[in-house]
Amino acid sequence: MATILLLLLFSASFTAHAQQAGQSVIRPGSLLTPIGTNSSWLSRSGLYAFGFYKQGNGYAIGIFIAGIQQKTVVWTANRDNPPLPADVKLIFTSDGRLVLQSAQAGTETEIISNSGNFVLYNSNNETIIWQSFDRPTDTFLPSQKLTTDQVLFSSRSDTDHSTGIFRLIMQQDGWLAMYPVGTPFTLEFGYFGQGISGQGADVSLNFDTDGHLYLLNGAGIYIVNITSGSPTKGLIYLLRIDPDGILRHYSHNLDQNSVWKVTWSGPKDVCAPKGLCGINGFCVTNDQEAACKCLPGFTRVNEDSWILGCERNFDSKSCKSNEAVSGYNMRGAKYYSCGEACLRDFNCEAALYKDGECKKQRLPLRFGRRQQSDSSVALIKVGLSSLSTDPIVPKESKKEIRVDILIISVSLIVLACIVLVVSGIVVYKYRGLVEDVAPKSYTYAELEKVTDGFKEEIGRGAFGIVYRGAIWNGEKIVAVKRLDKLLAEREREFQTEVKVIGRTHHKNLVRLLGYCHDGPNRLLVRIEIARNIAKGILYLHEECEPQIIHCDIKPHNILMDENGCAKLADFGLAKLLKPDQTKTYTNIRGTKGYVAPEWHRNLPVTVKVDVYSFGIVLLEMICCRRNVDFDLPEEEALLEEWAYHCFECGELGKLVKDEVVDKKELEKMVKVVLWCILDEPSLRPSMKKVLHMLEAGAIDIPIPPSPTSFLTAL
Q: Which residues are annotated as a binding site for ATP?
A: 481
104, 93 in Cβ contact below 8 A? yes
153, 9 in Cβ contact below 8 A? yes
Task: Please pick, among 242, 345, 552, 610, the residue that the annotation labels catalytic.
Answer: 552
Task: Write the DSSP assignment of 194-263 as a string of letters.
Answer: E--TTS-S--EEEE-TTS-EEEE-TTS-EEEEEE-----TTEEEEEEE-TTS-EEEEEEESSTT---EEE
Calpha distance 156→563 (Å, rounded): 64
Calpha distance 286→9 (Å, rounded): 30
Cβ neighbours of residue 478 under 8 Å, at least 6 residues apart? 450, 468, 469, 470, 471, 513
CA angle 170, 679, 147 (to 5 degrees): 15
Calpha distance 549→611 (Å, rounded): 10
Cβ neighbours of residue 181 under 8 Å, at least 6 residues apart? 153, 163, 164, 165, 166, 167, 275
Q: What is the 3-state secondary structure (H, E, C) of 653-670?
A: HHHHCCCCCCHHHHHHHH
Calpha distance 66→620 (Å, rounded): 46
Calpha distance 230→251 (Å, rounded): 10
Cβ neighbours of residue 399 under 8 Å, at least 6 residues apart? none
Within 13 Å, how many C-alpha atoms sit on residue 665's CB side? 17
Calpha distance 624→687 (Å, rounded): 22
Calpha distance 122→116 (Å, rounded): 19
Neighbours of 460 (CB within 10 A): 13
Backbone angles phi, psi at 403, to 5 degrees: -65, -45
Neighbours of 596 (CB within 10 A): 27
Known active-site residue 436: no
Backbone angles phi, psi at 673, to 5 degrees: -60, -50
Q: What is the dihedral of CA 93, 99, 100, 104, to 10 degrees?
A: -40
Calpha distance 333→359 (Å, rounded): 10
Q: Which residues carry out catalysis?
A: 552
